[in-house]
Structure 1
């Protein structure tokens, strides 16, 4: 990419920031992501700060870090104003100064920067009986279970028992009376818990009353791999070294003593694809109206995987309930493609939900720095990761490309969307047919109003109870939500560390 800015000033600023001092005073290279942020900061300083200032106070023009101003304008609106200027105002055109790619990246950077200036809601560790008046529904929070360790997935059995996965490797049962069983399910697979990995999603077969199948997704250590007996000591605050791992999907049954039995393998990648990356496992399930199992796999932090049809990573897959390949999958018969692939070009997809009114499959996935996405996923389509993004990613400068789908919605600053769910019941009249999106970084439950393929309105239902992992409707017609104590800067936990969690129920009020 060529820069039309005063190049000397840019190079000088970048050269001075290629290294930073670590805690011991040694010089360490700056990450590509941080370097890109610094590039955008320099771009803003050279081209924008003279009129718009460097903080919320602004200058002759309004502050470009004002969240209200940014929320009121789409990226496309901002792009046109920067590129073409504003007639009758002091805003000049920058199409001869900044390339299109730089303008798009600058917009993403401004949105990320604006988030720093916003006071975050104070975390409420005990949400019991908190009453909330959202736009169309008032409700009270009821705690169902409160002694969970990093809860990740949940699914109801027909007898009203609730299954909850804990990322360290335990499958828990909350009985029909709402009591968490003290002993985890015995006999579940051994998981490899590190960073994003562990015991992940759980799903119940639509015909469970007849066949009893339950599906689990988890990360495992590469078979035959031996963890070194005497690993070197880990410096304070650092992660221990990772080892090759991969997502595995199985199904099994619960016997009368709540033991995991009759396990069958649904998906396992070739051993050659196991990677030491601890990120982006994806692994969300959903059964379609066609009776097929759909599941997501992240690209494991290796961008090229998302565009390669030869690997299952960075894809959404469709299989028969026994793991076999449906004959009508879009890539069946192609020698260069994994036949279970339904769509590709995904980064870290953690949400799947069907709109029963249209039959459309909706998906949520994490972007890089910003650029989180809500997509409508259709067979044989490419959703662009690795080539295009609405966020900031070193090496990716495009917003769109031929043959690649645009998201229905994108979020910058990030919300790190996880589980999503269409509510179709009657217990919350104002919420019927809304799409609920959970957010890890935003600590939020977000409600989206949907009209066909469009999002017509959004609201944040709450954003103060910690990392919000997933949501579903129970047999009582009420919404159940998984929460986890916040992690990362300003908390007692590292960003990817385990932390205590809850299952809560949203009880409607008049």
Structure 2
């Protein structure tokens, strides 16, 4: 679990840029409480009947319905749990064949007696759900970590589109662990759901994780990658990563790659091909301590389709839920822009619900929030409820770049609006008008061919009435 980072010094100009680019999108969504009164919830998953299983850091996993009623204690770990510092009952995921096998996997830190200072075991247990309780516990993964400081244990787990179980584990506060191929710390692991090891793992040698390589390793060089998700559009994996005091990352996870910690935090400078660079970093003043992450895929909020949504465990001014727009289709291994999606802080996990809403789990508030589209009324003749200007791609460019933007609807109907998309040079002179017409709500894409313009810095401006958003562009030749 990432440490909560509190930072009170930042540049006013940077704050203004972040605010101007995010207020329009933030007001598109409403936030409601779904479940309240939980004690330090960490992770959650929806069951097929729309109930929710939630891990509670200091005790157990419980099942709730979305009417804010506790249904049952699924499993109580208290008699053999280490919940000190960042340890406890952590990740949870359902088997893709849950409807037939009723399997639920939970990651926690085991110790006996509870909270002992030694014999910490990082453990994944598979339970069989029966009448809302766990039965037949089967240990899928068990690693004797010994005496650890209690920080940077991860972590979450998911089953990929390949049917394999992926688990993220931090370096347990010992930086050198991340670069060692002989232990699972600072890694994302890949196992068969029964705990056996796939022979096509990148560092598989003898199938025995305690001799030679730890055959379970999928990627390494991570500090404390708290969460990750599998894209519903392809087999790509995206993971959040916490920097020491700065440079939180979102990483594109690829088989066998080294993500650089502790040699690199954030972008590796100078560039070193031995290390996979992050898709994006969150540096000062954005110090969110990233946690939950999803790829949205739903018709309720189509403007978010194939967008990366990442949450922050921090409670300070930049502890938001962020929208990150991937680029370089069809691989989607870069992020071309990021903006605030919702002003929710202290979030440990995210999930898309069966209803298409986004759900966010507040570890400190003890609340499961629902984030959905804003359908409240807007006054006649008002401006659009919101609009978004994405960063052009590629940037820098020569001579053609693509600019994507979105217009959001007003009350009840689809009302056209006059929208202007212009390009200005550094002196404020309008160099090009790309759009100046009535547009209905929707997503738009425009190309600008700057072949006849001198190289340098330009600004793209999207405006409606007195509202406007700007993005900086760099033309190179």
226 and 250 in structure 1: CA distance in 2 versus 1, 3 angstrom threshold: closer
Q: Measure, in 2, the Cα distance between the counterparts of 1:348 and 1:483.
A: 19
Residue of structure 1 in register with 2:123 after alignment: 248
1:505 to 354, 357, 370: 370
Contact residue 314 and residue 344 of structure 1 kept, 8 A: yes
Q: Does 1:280 align with 2:152?
A: yes
Q: Flag the structure with higher helix content.
A: 1
SS in 1 for 2:272: coil
Q: Please, which runs of 5 or more residues in structure 2 have no aligned partner?
A: 1-7, 376-477
Alpha-carbon distance, 1:359 to partner: 2.4
Residue of structure 2 in register with 1:478 after alignment: 357
Q: Give CA deviations for 1:97-144 in whole Å, capped at 9, x if unaligned.
A: xxxxxxxxxxxxxxxxxxxxx99xxxxxxxxxxxx9752872221211
Moved over 6 A (4+): none
438 and 377 in structure 1: CA distance in 2 versus 1, 3 angstrom threshold: same
Q: Flag the structure with higher strand content.
A: 2
1:419 to 292, 300, 308: 292
Taking structure 1 as the reference length, what is the TM-score of the superposition?
A: 0.64
Residue of structure 2 in register with 1:305 after alignment: 177
Q: Measure, in 1, the Cα distance between the counterparts of 2:62 and 2:169.
A: 24
SS in 2 for 1:181: strand
1:315 to 187, 203, 209: 187
SS in 1 for 2:177: helix
Contact residue 445 and residue 460 of structure 1 kept, 8 A: yes
Aligned length: 352
1:459 to 334, 339, 346: 339
Q: Measure, in 1, the Cα distance between the counterparts of 2:138 and 2:100.
A: 17
Q: Measure, in 1, the Cα distance between the counterparts of 2:146 and 2:133.
A: 29
Q: Does 1:332 align with 2:204?
A: yes
SS in 2 for 1:363: strand
Q: 1:97-176 alignment to 2 at 5 Å?
A: 134-135=24-25, 138-175=28-65
Alpha-carbon distance, 1:246 to partner: 3.4
SS in 2 for 1:249: strand
1:259 to 133, 137, 146: 133
Residue of structure 1 in register with 2:326 after alignment: 450
Contact residue 61 and residue 76 of structure 2 kept, 8 A: no
Alpha-carbon distance, 1:226 to partner: 9.2
187 and 440 in structure 1: CA distance in 2 versus 1, 3 angstrom threshold: closer
Q: 1:38-437 alignment to 2 at 5 Å?
A: 66-68=11-13, 134-135=24-25, 138-175=28-65, 178-181=67-70, 183-188=72-77, 190-221=80-111, 227=116, 242-256=117-131, 258-269=132-143, 271=144, 273-333=145-205, 336-390=212-266, 400-413=271-284, 414-437=287-310
Q: Measure, in 2, the Cα distance between the counterparts of 1:192 and 1:166.
A: 12
Taking structure 2 as the reference length, what is the TM-score of the superposition?
A: 0.69
Q: Please, which runs of 5 or more residues in structure 1 have no aligned partner?
A: 1-54, 57-64, 73-117, 120-131, 228-241, 392-396, 486-499
Q: Measure, in 2, the Cα distance between the counterparts of 1:481 and 1:311.
A: 32
